């Protein structure tokens, strides 16, 4: 068994781990020896100093050298056994619950000097240690500094220390996968020595080269997979798209605004990819309201001019309907555009599927139904995936493969995320960013209001409705309980309905898709003026007449989520408002978040601040398939290592180096399976 095979082998291979212990560890998702290594120390216990009884401090783990003097074995059930020990400065009781007399006599023989370590308590005017696990006549076996781990019930600290001792003692020497230049940056420390120091309590509060080396390995393995996918896609030869710019002017006349510099730059980047003989695999990232959809429709028209079909996939039916309406309004009349969703009736669906296979449809817009097995395209040249930030590496690559070698892929996201996160999540793709917004978009005025001023807020809402405007009223997710969330939105709905009568609708997670679409459709058609909602408001939907959003308990949300919610308004030409409601006792962190949002409408700036405040793991729930969570790396704290890993990967790409050298690394960090699945 080589080093990698050993590390990835089942925990049952470790001395001291039987079936019972293995099952307990598997409850903590510890299945292999490598998993065990990543159950990192959360603290350390110093048992190295020997204390006298008169130096003891209650509540601390301390070590003593004592003489065993007397036993107390009560015959009354449930009373503990006691062993009275002493040194020249005082007495201490060793207290044992649920233990046998014979066992106690064996480990604590009368008139013998023993070393004992444990948490000190004080009871009945005497110090005591309850159920001590560290007892020995050999002082050197206890007088140590131990790493402290998060333990599962049923495994003692002493047993776990022994298991980890065996694992660390048998750590294999692995062939080095890092280049000499990178090794030098981490003082030439090996992977094995880095892991040893990570578990060594002496280094618990020291962040040295060993930690940076392991963090780099983790980032590097992630980027290698993305790079490999990117290289694979770039090697696919496709038919170049050939088109001119004349029809695009007709789109710009119909939308009635000039393109921003960012939009023009993005269109040029996409056009370059479309005209290339290499397959496009591009992320178009833009803030809410930055005009991504128009850019994607221009790209669609260019592809259609080249005699190819386009499939435009939206996450929801209502968003698909909205894109369909916009496409019909702005594209030339000779372009055949169809809508296909779960609501499309059988007769129409059958005709659309048939026409797609015969190339009688130029642009098909719909939900994930566009890529069901039964749907066959005649000459698909571009897939556009809208608002699919949970559409991971595997899914993107499989969709690209299914579409065929001549099909380009454009993924759009209205979730601005920092560069290090783009590198991590979308590293397999080229990236275009639209930051600036069209000039006809007015900035949303953001205010914070104490919930005590609810009457003023309701009066403001009433005034807006009298002026013909519409309102979103968002209730938060409290304590992550859907039931409570559901009740809070219902309660607010009932209060507002008494005031505004039948002009109020209610949206929450327990409604089915048909009910949800019905309410949103009523709002779009202005049959209702207020939607009371949980956070299920669809990202990207245009309600041009909605110009007010009220967010209750705004401190319960992250900055990026608040910014996304705020983006539901301000999509027309009207002056728009976001009101953040909060309770009286706000934490300093909550005050910071609210002030950042009030002072900025820039989603990229906000996402950077959000990640600093909350950590990358929470950023809009980026737990996407194909991207494993990092164990050590943090895109904010370790930005320098992310940039270093990106540079190293680009060197490998330029030299077209084979990845065989890195297979051990990829296997270790659970990336090899992704690579096998997608390449």
Instruction: Tell me which of 62-66, 87-91, 256-260 is least confident.
Output: 256-260
- Confidence band for 303, pLDDT divided at 50, 70 and 90: very high
CA distance 17 to 343: 55
- The pLDDT assigned to 614 comes to 65
Closest CA to 675 of 614, 628, 641: 628
Domain ranges of the chain: 3-43+167-206, 48-143, 246-434, 445-600
Class in CATH terms, 48-143: mainly beta
**What does the pLDDT read at residue 340?**
93
Could you say which DSSP state residue 621 is in? G
3-class state of residue 80 by DSSP: coil
* Domain range 445-600, CATH architecture: 3-Layer(aba) Sandwich (3.40)
For residues 296 and 312, give the distance between their C-alpha atoms in angstroms, rounded to a whole number.
9
Element housing 130 (H / E): strand 126-130
The two beta strands, 43-46 and 408-413, are unpaired
What mean pLDDT is reported for the chain? 85
**For residue 285, what are the CA distances in angstroms to 232, 294, 430?**
23, 13, 11
Judge if 246-434 and 445-600 fold alike in CATH terms.
yes
pLDDT at 295: 94
- Percent share of the chain, pLDDT over 90: 41
pLDDT at 400 over 70: no
Give 516-532 as a DSSP string.
HHHHHHHHHTTS-SEEE
Which residue intervals of 66-188 are DSSP H helices? 101-107, 157-169, 180-185
**Given a cut of 70, is residue 440 above it in pLDDT?**
no
Q: How many CB atoms lie within 10 A of CB 422?
A: 18
CA distances from 308 to 266, 342, 462 (A): 21, 25, 51
What does the pLDDT average to over 486-506? 86
Confirm if 324 and 396 have CB atoms less than 8 A apart.
Answer: no
| DSSP 3-state of 299 | helix
pLDDT of residue 676: 54
**Are 278 and 236 spatial neighbours (Cβ–Cβ below 8 Å)?**
yes
7: buried, middle or exposed (CB in 10 Å: 19+, 13-18, 0-12)?
buried
The per-residue pLDDT for 397 is 65
Determine the average pLDDT of the residues in 12-39: 87
What's the average model confidence in pLDDT over 655-670?
A: 81
Better pLDDT: 71 or 623: 71
Q: Tokens representing 168?
A: 């660390």
The mean pLDDT value for 61-66 works out to 94
Enclosing H/E stretch for 380: strand 380-386
Q: Which two tokens stand for residue 124?
A: 């009945």
Task: Give the whole-number percent of the chain exceeding pLDDT 70.
Answer: 90
- Structure-block tokens of residue 208: 């040295």
How many CA atoms are closer than 13 Å to the CA of 581, on its beta-carbon side? 17
Closest CA to 435 of 602, 620, 265: 602
For tokens 């996304």, what's the residue? 564
Residue 113's pLDDT band (cuts 50, 70, 90):
very high
Cβ atoms of residues 340 and 370 within 8 Å: yes
C-alpha torsion sign, points 329, 330, 336, 342: negative
Q: What is the mean pLDDT of residues 37-44?
A: 88
pLDDT beyond 90 at 539: no
* H or E element at residue 302: helix 292-305
Q: 283, 430 in Cβ contact below 8 A?
A: yes
The residue-averaged pLDDT of 597-609 equals: 83
Distance of CA 436 to the CA centre of its chain: 26
Strand order in the sheet with 363-366: 337-340, 363-366, 309-313, 380-386, 408-413, 281-286, 430-434
670 φ/ψ sector (left φ>0, alpha ψ -120 to 50, else beta): left
Element (DSSP H or E) covering residue 69 = strand 61-72
| Closest CA relative to residue 292, chosen from 442, 413, 439 | 413
Give the chain's length.
679
List C-alpha distances in Å: 140 to 77, 116, 144.
36, 11, 7
Beta-ladder partners of 54? none
Compute the distance between CA of residue 172 and CA of residue 443 in angstroms, rounded to an integer.
59
Is residue 384 a contact partner of residue 312, using CB atoms and an 8 Å limit? yes
pLDDT category at 69 given cuts 50, 70, 90 is: very high
DSSP of 224-288, one letter per residue?
A: HHHHHHHHHHHT-B-PPP---SHHHHHHHHHHTSPPPHHHHHHHHHHHHHHHSSB--EEEEEE-T
pLDDT of res. 372? 81
pTM as predicted: 0.73
From 317, 286, 291, select the one nearest 412 (Cα to Cα): 286
Between the CA of residue 216 and those of 350, 404, 672, what are the distances in Å?
52, 35, 17
Mean per-residue pLDDT for 516-530?
88
Give the end-to-end CA distance of the chain in Å, rounded to a whole number.
27
231-288 pLDDT per residue, tens: 888 888 899 999 987 777 778 778 777 888 999 999 999 999 999 999 998 999 888 7
Tokens matching residue 599? 């002072």
Report the candidate in 63, 74, 56 with the shortest Cα–Cα distance to residue 117: 63
Q: Which of 133-142, 304-313, 490-499, 505-514 has the lowest mean pLDDT?
A: 505-514
pLDDT-derived band at 393, boundaries 50, 70, 90: low
CB of 546 closer than 8 Å to CB of 534 = no
Q: If you average pLDDT over residues 493-521, what whole number do you get?
A: 85
Report the pLDDT value the prediction gives residue 673, as an integer from 0 to 100.
55
Kindly indicate the confidence band of residue 626, based on its pLDDT and cuts at 50, 70 and 90.
Answer: very low
Kindly indicate the confidence band of residue 89, based on its pLDDT and cuts at 50, 70 and 90: very high
Residue 613 pLDDT > 50, yes or no?
A: yes
* CB-based contact 11:31 (threshold 8 Å): yes
At 171-183, the pLDDT tens digits run 999 999 999 999 9
Alpha helices of 27-100 — where are they, by DSSP H? 33-37
Q: How far is CA 442 from CA 326, 437, 446, 472, in A?
A: 21, 9, 12, 18
Q: Does residue 304 have a pLDDT over 80?
A: yes
Q: Which CATH number fits domain 246-434: 2.60.40.1220, 3.30.210.10, 3.40.309.10, 3.40.50.300?
A: 3.40.50.300
**Predicted pLDDT of residue 479:** 46
With CA atoms as reference, report the closest residue to 555 among 589, 532, 578, 579: 589
Query: Which pLDDT belongs to residue 528?
Result: 94
What dihedral do alpha carbons 317, 319, 322, 327 form, nearest 10°?
A: -100
Task: Give the 3-state DSSP-derived string for 408-458, with helices as H, strands as E and coil as C.
Answer: EEEEEECCCCCHHHHHHHCCCCEEEEECCCCCCCCCCEEEEEEHHHHHHHH
With a cut of 80, say whether residue 416 has pLDDT above it: no
**Helices and strands of the chain, counted as H and E runs:** 24, 22
Q: pLDDT tens digits, residue range 580-594?
A: 998 877 778 888 888
């Amino acid at each position: 068994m080589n080093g990698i095979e050993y590390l990835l082998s089942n925990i049952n291979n470790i001395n001291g781990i039987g079936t019972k212990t293995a099952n307990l560890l598997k409850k903590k998702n510890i299945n292999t020896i490598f998993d065990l290594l990543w159950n990192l120390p959360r603290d350390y216990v110093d048992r190295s100093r020997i204390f006298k009884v008169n130096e003891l401090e209650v509540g601390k783990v301390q070590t003593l050298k004592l003489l065993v003097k007397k036993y107390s074995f009560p015959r009354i059930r449930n009373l503990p056994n006691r062993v009275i020990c002493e040194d020249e400065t005082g007495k201490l009781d060793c207290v044992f619950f649920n233990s046998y007399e014979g066992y106690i006599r064996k480990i604590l023989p009368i008139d013998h000097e023993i070393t004992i370590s444990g948490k000190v308590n004080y009871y009945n005017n005497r110090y005591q240690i309850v159920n001590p696990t560290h007892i020995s006549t050999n002082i050197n076996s206890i007088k140590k500094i131990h790493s402290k781990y998060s333990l599962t019930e049923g495994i003692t600290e002493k047993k776990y220390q022994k298991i980890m001792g065996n694992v660390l003692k048998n750590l294999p020497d692995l062939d080095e996968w890092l280049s000499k230049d990178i090794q030098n940056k981490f003082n030439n420390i090996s992977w094995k020595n880095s892991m040893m120091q990570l578990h060594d309590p002496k280094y618990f509060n020291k962040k040295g080269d060993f930690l940076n080396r392991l963090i780099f390995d983790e980032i590097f393995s992630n980027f290698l997979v993305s790079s490999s996918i990117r290289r694979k896609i770039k090697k696919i030869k496709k038919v170049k798209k050939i088109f001119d710019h004349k029809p695009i002017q007709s789109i710009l006349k119909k939308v009635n605004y000039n393109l921003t510099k960012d939009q023009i730059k993005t269109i040029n980047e996409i056009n370059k990819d479309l005209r290339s003989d290499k397959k496009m695999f591009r992320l178009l990232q833009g803030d809410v309201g930055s005009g991504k959809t128009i850019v994607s429709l221009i790209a669609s028209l260019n592809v259609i001019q080249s005699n190819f079909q386009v499939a435009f996939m939206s996450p929801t039916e209502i968003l698909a309907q909205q894109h369909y309406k916009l496409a019909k309004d702005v594209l030339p009349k000779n372009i055949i555009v169809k809508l296909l969703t779960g609501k499309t009736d059988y007769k129409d669906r059958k005709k659309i599927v048939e026409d797609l296979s015969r190339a009688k449809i130029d642009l098909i817009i719909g939900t994930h139904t566009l890529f069901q097995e039964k749907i066959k395209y005649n000459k698909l040249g571009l897939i556009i995936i809208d608002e699919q930030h949970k559409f991971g590496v595997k899914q993107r690559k499989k969709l690209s493969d299914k579409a065929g070698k001549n099909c380009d892929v454009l993924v759009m996201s209205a979730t601005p995320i920092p560069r290090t996160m783009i590198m991590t999540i979308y590293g397999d793709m080229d990236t275009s960013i639209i930051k600036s917004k069209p000039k006809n978009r007015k900035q949303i005025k953001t205010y914070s209001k104490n919930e005590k001023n609810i009457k003023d807020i309701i009066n403001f809402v009433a005034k807006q409705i009298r002026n013909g405007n519409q309102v979103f009223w968002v209730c938060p997710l409290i304590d992550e309980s859907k039931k409570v969330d559901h009740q809070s939105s219902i309660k607010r709905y009932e209060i507002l309905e008494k005031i505004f009568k039948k002009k109020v609708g209610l949206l929450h997670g327990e409604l089915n898709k048909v009910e949800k679409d019905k309410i949103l459709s009523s709002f779009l058609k202005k049959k209702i003026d207020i939607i009371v909602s949980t956070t299920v408001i669809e990202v990207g939907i245009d309600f041009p007449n909605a110009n007010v959003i009220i967010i209750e308990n705004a401190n319960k949300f992250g900055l990026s989520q608040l910014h996304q919610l705020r983006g539901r308004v301000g999509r027309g030409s009207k002056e728009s408002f976001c009101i953040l409601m909060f309770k009286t006792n706000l934490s300093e962190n909550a005050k910071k978040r609210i002030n950042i949002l009030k002072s900025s409408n820039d989603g990229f700036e906000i996402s950077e601040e959000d990640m600093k405040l909350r950590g990358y793991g929470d950023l809009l729930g980026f737990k996407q398939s194909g991207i494993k969570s990092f164990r050590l790396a943090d895109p904010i704290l370790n930005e320098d290592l992310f940039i270093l890993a990106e540079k190293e990967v680009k060197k490998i790409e330029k030299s077209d180096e084979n990845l065989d050298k890195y297979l051990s690394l990829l296997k270790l960090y659970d990336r090899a399976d992704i690579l096998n699945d997608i390449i």
